[in-house]
A and B are shown apart, each in its own frame.
Chain A
């Protein structure tokens, strides 16, 4: 399945093929493209030398993984409650459904295993899996509490024909939704070129109510996302042939619900126009080769593909003020922080330490000599250039800096200088 535009990253084993633009836009994709088109593209490109799956292997973040597991569990349980005609989790029927499933912890455990299975062929995650599993198991009571809390506020209207398997529009034919509650509803508007998946949609005689479960903190993006769902509901001619409107929109957070006022029909029309404009701009942005990189302190610090983005590493040099605090005199600066650094590895000092020259870093000045310490064998080798993510960086008064690889660090070897000259936008003279 090779093909598409060639992507050369300059990082060993990480060349591949740029992704095609999505057939239908989703809210998550639009937001990510608007934030940084390069990030969207690098995350979804194919890297045949790394693994067989599509996209760059994702890094593991425990909190995010817990959120995904809670969401997967809710999806499973809401589907089971809907299909068994339960009106809420506070009924004897629901108790029976949960007992048949083995209880909250059992379902959470299944969802956890499913998420871990996906990571077994992920080269960035495989070494961490035992520790990740242990941490997740210890958090099951916490996740169970979150699931109970979110589920306890959920009201369900039994749909006509409940007692059957919940309708999944991904698996079957798309037809109009009957009055009642439906879990995991895929909405689609061919006219807009958009798709979205609603956690719980209840069709009423006059319209519909949409509930979206959120495991993180409240955010403006969540409000916009549920408004997109309400637009997709109105525009989805297959699920909603009567073109009714959403009458209630609810974001369900741990501890509280947030009611989002639905837009009027005229407001939805305006929203659709603005969304179409944004979609066109986003599609233009990801068709570029390479797509534009939009580095920034906040957005890059959690970017899972920043090791592949030359613009990020150049940007890092200008982020020194952020690491130091604006106005700090570099000669007085003492820093010990986790951060990223690109290093030319020089001669070996000891079993696990090397001399090096910092090329890009927000903490250690470019061109300065550093000592690099590794936590295990084989992480770095003499005469190479590496990009290290989450190194422990120590610098004192602009003097000798130390970069230590910890179990949380990742190192990525760059190809030879001659190759790099072709791919890097600019490099400091050292």
Chain B
């Protein structure tokens, strides 16, 4: 994906929380989004309280992806991230 930068475990500042670790940070131009994994039985529930707070009160979009989808259908998981960027 041209012009898209992807970092793992990237430090990321969230106003009101401070610095958190983004599991996957995707940047495209001025747009940023955090990709985070959730368990198949807990849809949308993110792993850490900082991530949950960032998703609920922060300004940067947090895209939750089902870990089962990542292991069984990576192209679909990738498509979800691409759609979120577009």
Q: Are B15 and A152 in contact (CB under 8 A)?
A: no
Q: Are A152 and B59 in contact (CB under 8 A)?
A: yes
Q: Are A95 and B55 in contact (CB under 8 A)?
A: no
Instruction: Count how many chain B residues have C-beta atoms less than 8 Å from C-beta atoms of the other chain.
Output: 21
Residue in chain B with minimal CB distance to A97: B57
A152→B57 CA distance, assembly (Å): 11
Which of B2-10, B19-27, B60-68, B69-77 makes up part of the contact surface? B60-68
Report the minimum CB–CB distance from A324 to chain B (whole Å).
34
A98→B60 CA distance, assembly (Å): 13
Q: Are A105 and B84 in contact (CB under 8 A)?
A: no
A99→B61 CA distance, assembly (Å): 16
List of A residues within 8 angstroms of B61 by Cβ: 145, 148-149, 152
Q: Which of A372-410 contact B (CB under 8 A)?
A: none
List of A residues within 8 angstroms of B85 by Cβ: 255
List of A residues within 8 angstroms of B33 by Cβ: 145
Against A, the Cβ 8 Å flags (1 = close, 0 = not) of B21-62 are 000000000010100000000011000000000011111111
List of B residues within 8 angstroms of A94 by Cβ: 15-16, 59
Which of A52-60, A136-144, A310-318 makes up part of the contact surface? A136-144
Q: Which of A62-99 contact B (CB under 8 A)?
A: 88-92, 94-96, 98-99
Please pick, from A91, A99, A105, A255, the residue contacting B86 in the complex, using a CB distance under 8 A. Answer: A255
A132→B60 CA distance, assembly (Å): 28
Q: Does A303 contact B (CB under 8 A)?
A: no
A145→B59 CA distance, assembly (Å): 10
List of A residues within 8 angstroms of B15 by Cβ: 90-92, 94-95
Known: A88-B59, A140-B44. A145 touches B84 (CB 8 A): yes
Residue in chain A with minimal CB distance to B14: A95
Please pick, from A90, A99, A138, A255, the residue contacting B59 in the complex, using a CB distance under 8 A. Answer: A90
Q: Are B57 and A99 in contact (CB under 8 A)?
A: yes
30 contacts between A and B (CB under 8 A): A94-B15, A94-B16, A95-B16, A95-B17, A95-B57, A96-B16, A98-B56, A99-B16, A99-B57, A103-B56, A104-B55, A104-B56, A106-B56, A138-B43, A140-B44, A141-B43, A141-B44, A144-B56, A145-B33, A145-B61, A145-B62, A145-B84, A148-B60, A148-B61, A148-B62, A149-B61, A151-B59, A152-B59, A152-B61, A255-B86
Other A-B pairs, 20, CB within 8 Å; known A95-B14, A104-B56: A92-B16, A94-B16, A95-B16, A95-B57, A98-B57, A103-B57, A104-B57, A105-B44, A106-B56, A140-B44, A145-B33, A145-B63, A145-B84, A148-B58, A148-B59, A148-B61, A149-B61, A152-B61, A255-B31, A255-B85
Q: 6 closest pairs, A vs B, by CB?
A: A95-B16, A103-B56, A98-B57, A89-B59, A90-B59, A141-B44
